[in-house]
Amino acid sequence: MAGITLRNLVKAYGRVRVVHGIDLDIGNHEFVVLVGPSGCGKSTTLRMIAGLEEITSGEIRIGGRLVNDLPPRKRNIAMVFQNYALYPHMTVRDNLGFGLKIAGQPKEVVAARVQEAADILGLAQLLDRTPAELSGGQRQRVAMGRAIVRHPDAFLFDEPLSNLDAKLRGQMRAEIKKLHQKVNNTVVYVTHDQVEAMTLADRIVIMRDGHIEQTGTPMEVFNRPANIFVAGFIGSPPMNQLPCSAEAGGLRLADGTVLPVPARLAGKVRPGAALILGVRPDDISPEGSGLLATGEGAMVRLTVDIAEPLGMESLLYSRLAGQEVQSKVFGPRLVSPGEVLDCRIALDRAHLFDAATGRSLEAA
Amino acid sequence: MARILTSRRAALTPLLLLLPAIATMLFVVALPLVFSLWTSFTPYRLTRPDTLYDVIGLRNYIRLMSDAAFWVAFGRTVLFLAIALNVEFLLGLGIALLINRITWGQRGLRTIMMFPMMFSPILVGFQFKFIFNDNIGILNNALQSLGLTDQAIPWLVDARLAMFSIIFAEVWMSTSVFAILLLAGLFAMPRDPLEAAKVDGCNAWQVFRHIMLPFLMPFAFIAMTIRSLDVARAYDIVAVMTGGGPAGRTELLWTLIARVGYDNARMGQANAMAYVSTLLSVLFTWYFFRKLVAARRYMGGAQ
Ligand SMILES: Nc1ncnc2c1ncn2[C@@H]1O[C@H](COP(=O)(O)OP(=O)(O)OP(=O)(O)O)[C@@H](O)[C@H]1O
Ligand SMILES: [Mg+2]
């Protein structure tokens, strides 16, 4: 068991930098999820931790030990790959036991640990099959089993669920969470799916273009996104972003509507500043049909373009200040296109970002 | 009535369409096969066609069983095959691994690697005959000028050295069969299991031994199947380099069979030998094919 520390970690392919000096402290037993859009350098970072990718500069420590120049086999980590990477010519049993066998463990220890892992993951019936004879979900479990038998210092997962269908993905997500509670190892988990990140992580690291945009617990990054990118990335459907300018009376939207400045940000708004108002769809809804709305609010008038009934709630695509916004209506309330709704914006949960830098005013 | 006729005609149509192919096959494959099998039961001599009708039963085969020269050639062929295939496999593997590692000039090298296969085996034989010639060969010449030896090494005269020289020529010409097929295997190999093995604690050798090699074996067995057929019928290189001599020291099955059939004109006996030799080829093919199927089984289905 060990924490992982990254210090000013840089990766460049030739002259192209893809990871720009990342700093990250991952605590012992912590489940950290690296999330970000495709190509942002998540896999590269993970592979550098694993030792599969050389680092250009910086430092990686696992359990306090500098591992920069150690080959993967000396880092005592286990990795689960996106397409499982099982050994095709070995049975499940041999796949699970391979790492222990290579490490020179006695046969009985290997057998016992394989059995233990098989029991945890429900693979006991499949031990004599080859990977070709398994379903996707079963292969995924074998890949995880192969990781846990070795009792490594840390687990690294690279989008382990992205090859599964939606239902199985949900199921395996729950299993990974259970597994972590059971074995309680340090985990670094890469995904581009923010739902996975929110549900699994103790701490989320949001990356973009080789930089870390924000690090925090799921609730922190959801409730206090550090910038527009994080705000748009975390949460589904994404946060509405309304350009506005600060005035003496409040925030003036593109069509002239003026909304009051949220009280908690009042001191931070400079008059004349170009801003972006961020409001989650959950926080715009007709009075009485939304989330419990007791805090400060402001009324706006929306014209509905499309309504998507989802059962418990409907998702509305409407126009506000000439821009499309998404909002939610709770309860059995049918909304038809073209309808004009008076909606309440929960300002106490709204965010303001500097239009130029994208940074949240809250942070400043 | 008419309908029965049409339907019968319809049933005959595929047969009619296949008739040319069937006739060709009969003429090209079945006829010579039956004919040669027939001659192996006669004392057929090329010079006396009338002996064709003189059936002597299994006498050719019985004589074969106690023919020491035949069995020595048989054993030598098996040895030749075993050594050549193993050496070609190891060299081919080495070449494939090296070419797989380089990133620049790979295509060019792949083409160059094929060059030896572009020459006729007869010419390769002649070339090596001159290289290994004890008086005028460049090998002895080079060894002597380098001062490594002061006498002419009898490359093609000494029994062991002659076998070595022939195997050398064979290997030179055909290693690329292994190299090409193994390289194809390396290109097809998924990268993830290799990385998984590294993380699982393998050093480079262990990755190769436990992950790469099992993946490559089906490709090696394909090459072995092809090459075992090829080497078991080896004739041209041997005939040119040593002619099976000196004094039968490099006699392989087919040089012996050719000698018996054409030089001694005892075609009946030669065909009996040929049939027994064919068994050898069938045996090797069957063996490698079984290995191939076994090795392929794990790879069944996409991973
Ligand atoms: N071998 C390489 N040579 C050059 N550039 C590379 C190489 N491997 C990756 N890159 C670049 O590095 C960047 C980061 O890649 P990486 O695989 O880490 O992305 P990712 O965040 O894992 O994306 P995804 O979600 O699509 O897997 C990408 O822009 C990619 O093009
Ligand atoms: Mg990736």
Residue type, B128: F
Task: Of A94, A102, A75, give the one whose Cα is nearest residue B205.
Answer: A102
Task: Of B274, B267, B264, B276, give the one whose Cα is nearest residue B52.
Answer: B267
Contact A51 B299 (CB under 8 A): no
| Minimal-distance CA residue of chain B relative to A80 | B196
How many Cα atoms sit within 13 Å of B228 on the Cβ side? Answer: 23
Please state, as a whole number, how many other Cβ atoms lie within 10 Å of the Cβ of residue A252. Answer: 16
Burial class, B28, CB count within 10 angstroms (exposed 0-12 / middle 13-18 / buried 19+): exposed
User: Positive or negative, the Cα torsion across B164, B167, B169, B172?
Assistant: negative
Measured from the alpha carbon of residue A38, the closest ligand is 1
Q: With beta carbons under 8 A apart, name residues in chain A contacting B206.
A: 102
Q: Which tens digits make up the pLDDT trace of A133-146?
A: 898 889 988 998 99
What is d(CA A64, CA A76) in angstroms, rounded to the nearest whole number? Answer: 13
What is d(CA B172, CA B84) in angstroms, rounded to the nearest whole number? Answer: 10
CA distances from A258 to A108, A297, A312, B249, B285 (A): 74, 13, 32, 106, 86
The CA distance from B13 to the nearest CA of chain A, in Å, is 43
What is d(CA B260, CA B268) in angstroms, rounded to the nearest whole number? Answer: 9
Q: Which candidate from A51, A78, A81 shows the least CB-CB separation from B192?
A: A81
What is d(CA A67, CA A51) in angstroms, rounded to the nearest whole number? Answer: 8
For A282, the token pair is: 């959950």
What is d(CA B185, CA B89) in angstroms, rounded to the nearest whole number? Answer: 13
User: B55-74 burial, b if ≥16 CB within 10 A, otherwise e?
Assistant: eeeeebeeebeebeebeebb
Match 């400045």 to its residue by tokens: A261
Q: Are B260 and B270 in contact (CB under 8 A)?
A: yes
Query: What's the CA-to-centroid distance between A197 and ligand 2, angstroms?
Result: 14
Q: For each successive 10 residues of chain B (303 residues), what is the average pLDDT?
A: 65 85 88 86 81 79 84 89 93 92 84 86 88 82 81 80 89 91 91 92 92 90 88 83 78 84 82 86 88 74 36
Measured from the alpha carbon of residue A207, the closest ligand is 1
A283 CB-near residues (< 8 Å, 6+ apart): A290, A291, A345, A346, A349, A350
What is d(CA B257, CA B265) in angstroms, rounded to the nearest whole number? Answer: 10
Q: What is the pLDDT of residue B285?
A: 87
Q: Are A275 and A354 in contact (CB under 8 A)?
A: yes
What is d(CA A302, CA A315) in angstroms, rounded to the nearest whole number? Answer: 13
What is d(CA A23, CA A38) in angstroms, rounded to the nearest whole number? Answer: 20
Q: Are A123 and A138 in contact (CB under 8 A)?
A: yes
CATH of domain A4-232: 3.40.50.300
The partner residues of A318 in beta bridges, in order of sequence, read: A304, A325
What is d(CA A219, CA A227) in angstroms, rounded to the nearest whole number? Answer: 15
For B170, the token pair is: 């064979």
Ligand 1 binding pocket includes A13 (Cβ within 6 Å): yes
Q: With beta carbons under 8 A apart, name residues in chain A contacting B300.
A: 130, 132
What is d(CA B296, CA B289) in angstroms, rounded to the nearest whole number? Answer: 10
Interface-testing mutation among B103, B198, B199, B298, with chain A (most A C-beta atoms within 10 A): B199
Contact B196 A86 (CB under 8 A): yes
Q: What is the pLDDT of residue B301?
A: 39
Please state, as a whole number, how many other Cβ atoms lie within 10 Å of the Cβ of residue B213. Answer: 13
Ligand 1 binding pocket includes A192 (Cβ within 6 Å): yes
Which of A35, A43, A45, A158 best tests ligand 1's pocket when mutated (most atoms within 8 Å of CB)? A43
Count A/B contacts: CB-CB distance under 8 Å. 79
Helix then strand count (H, E) for chain A reads 8, 20
What is d(CA B33, CA B26) in angstroms, rounded to the nearest whole number? Answer: 10
Q: Which candidate from B192, B197, B214 shows the least CB-CB separation from A83?
A: B192
Ligand 1 binding pocket includes A43 (Cβ within 6 Å): yes
Q: Where are the domains positioned within chain B?
A: 67-298
CA dihedral B104, B105, B106, B109 (to 10 degrees): -150
Measured from the alpha carbon of residue A44, the closest ligand is 1
Phi, psi for B13 (deg, rounded to 5): -55, -50
Task: Of A180, A144, A190, A154, give the one whose Cα is nearest residue A65.
Answer: A154
Q: Which candidate from A52, A99, A130 shows the least CB-CB separation from B195?
A: A52
- Phi-psi domain of A101 (left: phi exceeds 0; alpha: psi -120 through 50; beta: other): alpha
User: B110-119 burial, b if ≥16 CB within 10 A, otherwise e?
Assistant: eeebeebeee
- CATH 1.10.3720.10 at B67-298, yes or no: yes
Domain A238-354: CATH architecture, name and number where available: Beta Barrel (2.40)
Neighbours of ion ligand 2 (CB under 5 A): A 43
Phi, psi for A110 (deg, rounded to 5): -60, -50
Ligand 1 binding pocket includes A185 (Cβ within 6 Å): no
Q: Which tens digits make up the pLDDT trace of B210-227?
A: 999 989 998 999 898 888
Q: With beta carbons under 8 A apart, name residues in chain A contacting B210.
A: 87, 98, 102
Q: Where are the domains positioned within chain A?
A: 4-232, 238-354
Helix axes B106-118, B159-188, angle to 10 degrees: 140
Q: Which candidate from B203, B211, B302 shows the least CB-CB separation from A73?
A: B203
Task: Of B102, B92, B101, give the one whose Cα is nearest residue B176.
Answer: B92
Any B CB within 8 A of A292 CB: no
The CA distance from B63 to the nearest CA of chain A, in Å, is 48
Segment 77-96 of chain A within 8 Å of chain B by CB? 77-79, 81, 83-90
A164 CB-near residues (< 8 Å, 6+ apart): A136, A137, A140, A172
What is d(CA A142, CA A95) in angstroms, rounded to the nearest whole number? Answer: 8
Query: What's the CA-to-centroid distance between A34 and ligand 2, angstroms?
Result: 10
β A186-191/A154-158 pair status: parallel
The CA distance from A159 to the nearest CA of chain B, in Å, is 14
Contact A102 B211 (CB under 8 A): no
Measured CA angle at B15 (ends B9, B16), to 5 deg: 75
Q: What is the pLDDT of residue A332?
A: 64
Segment 93-132 of chain A within 8 Å of chain B by CB? 98-99, 102-103, 130-132
β A57-62/A65-66 pair status: antiparallel
Task: Of A302, A300, A308, A299, give the one whose Cα is nearest residue A335.
Answer: A308
What is d(CA B238, CA A357) in angstroms, rounded to the nearest whole number? Answer: 81
What is d(CA A279, CA A283) in angstroms, rounded to the nearest whole number? Answer: 6
DSSP for residue A360: B
Q: What is the pLDDT of residue A40?
A: 92
Ligand 1 binding pocket includes A18 (Cβ within 6 Å): yes
Residue type, A267: G
Ligand 1 binding pocket includes A41 (Cβ within 6 Å): yes
Ligand 1 binding pocket includes A38 (Cβ within 6 Å): yes
| Minimal-distance CA residue of chain B relative to A130 | B298
β A313-320/A323-330 pair status: antiparallel
For A26, the token pair is: 């991952």
Which residues of chain A fall below pLDDT 50?
Answer: none
Match 């003429």 to its residue by tokens: B27
What is d(CA B63, CA B75) in angstroms, rounded to the nearest whole number? Answer: 17
CA A42 to ligand 1: nearest atom: 21
Q: Are A80 and A156 in contact (CB under 8 A)?
A: yes
